[in-house]
Amino acid sequence: MITHNFNTLDLLTSPVWIVSPFEEQLIYANSAARLLMQDLTFSQLRTGPYSVSSQKELPKYLSDLQNQHDIIEILTVQRKEEETALSCRLVLRKLTEAEPVIIFEGIEAPATLGLKASRSANYQRKKQDFYARFFLTNSAPMLLIDPSRDGQIVDANLAALNFYGYNHETMCQKHTWEINMLGRRVMPIMHEISHLPGGHKPLNFVHKLADGSTRHVQTYAGPIEIYGDKLMLCIVHDITEQKRLEEQLEHAAHHDAMTGLLNRRQFYHITEPGQMQHLAIAQDYSLLLIDTDRFKHINDLYGHSKGDEVLCALARTLESCARKGDLVFRWGGEEFVLLLPRTPLDTALSLAETIRVSVAKVSISGLPRFTVSIGWRITKEMKASMNCLNALMMLCIGRKMMDATACWRHKPRMRLEINDCA
């Protein structure tokens, strides 16, 4: 646990946030930063309407920060009761033996900095000079933008025309906010970018093409002076396929491959202290453990493929019974967990009964009806819940073993077993 005294940072006029990268939890914000936050959380600053970043998850920055790469994020902050953009430089620091922290340092640019009014209305590309040859022949889409003219695009290379699907004349009649899915909300971001130092890690946006389709892009934009005109050069990289693969990997990491439910790893992640407030489970909540009875018997007698059908049917039943905001997990094997935010005992019991009735109606060709055991716990502390969850599992396993011995030839019956482990 970090116990440093950061109060001296209140002497700074620049806003500073100190964040734990792994828990993505705010450790400290100085007085200037707190003034910009108002009632917002740091997570909301990173995901607001003007927020732009290279990485969604902070741990993905660690390698670049360790190699001292320049990384900039744009946060959405409050100024005079209005939302606006603020550029922040990210720095990695280690405090004694504690885990490393990421420092977000706000870059407050003086009004005199940035791109001044330009003469880009008279911009003419000189075909024979080095810049023109570099611009025209580069395989990366490039745009020249004039922020002082409402973000108008004044030039585009052949790669950009091919990427966006416009001819040169049409492209140069557009403004950057017309191709950016943020619309006019991108203008404060452009103002922030216009005074950033060069060399920072590119930022991610979604751009719209001529045919109406969208692409995830990573853009590097920085100030440039060409033929006396003060413009912005924007280099565009299409990362749509990369985003798709990342989303597939993230989904696979957090979901059970067979049932499609959230997995145990995601349960642990969601119930971390830094995550609970975002899911309305910081207050009272309930846990239901649903365990499939005699599942080994089903596998042994009817085959593992039929056992898989049982698990998938049970998963769909639990999803149909769950309310909005409830989370359904496959804990492992034939065990499932329902996390019920802000759910008192009577509501949890009612939902358990709904599950019991619904499972009783499940019919799978070639199989007899199957039964479930349900355990419950209402609590305020996740640590206590984890101990209770393990106890519930052992209880259900023990009772299934007794059933297998004493009731092997009996007709399967639906049972609702309610157990308080407090």
* CA 289 vs CA 281, 336, 341, 369, 374: distances in Å: 17, 6, 15, 20, 5
C-beta separation of 264 from 332 below 8 A: yes
Retrieve residue 307's tokens.
């056992």
Query: How far is residue 239's CA from residue 312's CA, in Å, rounded to a whole number?
Result: 34
Query: How far is residue 335's CA from residue 374's CA, in Å, rounded to a whole number?
Result: 10
Out of 334, 335, 353, 417, the active site residue is 334
Query: How far is residue 265's CA from residue 51's CA, in Å, rounded to a whole number?
Result: 28
Angle between helix 304-321 and helix 295-302 axes, rounded to 10 deg: 140
C-beta separation of 72 from 201 below 8 A: yes
C-beta separation of 347 from 363 below 8 A: no
CB atoms within 10 A of CB 301: 12
Neighbouring residues of 69: CB distance < 8 A, sequence distance ≥ 6: 201
| Amino acid found at 261 | L
- How many residues are listed for the chain in this entry? 422
HSE-CB at 416 with a 13 A cutoff on CA atoms is 15
Q: Is 82 a catalytic residue?
A: no
DSSP structure string for 222-272: EEEEETTEEEEEEEEEE-HHHHHHHHHHHHHHHB-TTT--EEHHHHHHHTS
* CA 85 vs CA 46, 187, 236: distances in Å: 10, 10, 21
Q: Which residue pairs, CB below 8 angstroms and at least 24 apart, start in 183-190?
A: 185/49, 185/50, 186/151, 187/150, 187/151, 188/50, 188/84, 188/85, 189/50, 189/52, 189/74, 189/85, 190/145, 190/147, 190/151, 190/221, 190/232
Which candidate, 183, 186, 10, 29, places its Cα nearest to that of 101? 29
Neighbouring residues of 397: CB distance < 8 A, sequence distance ≥ 6: 291
Q: What DSSP element (H or E) covers 357? A: helix 345-360
Residues annotated as catalytic are 334
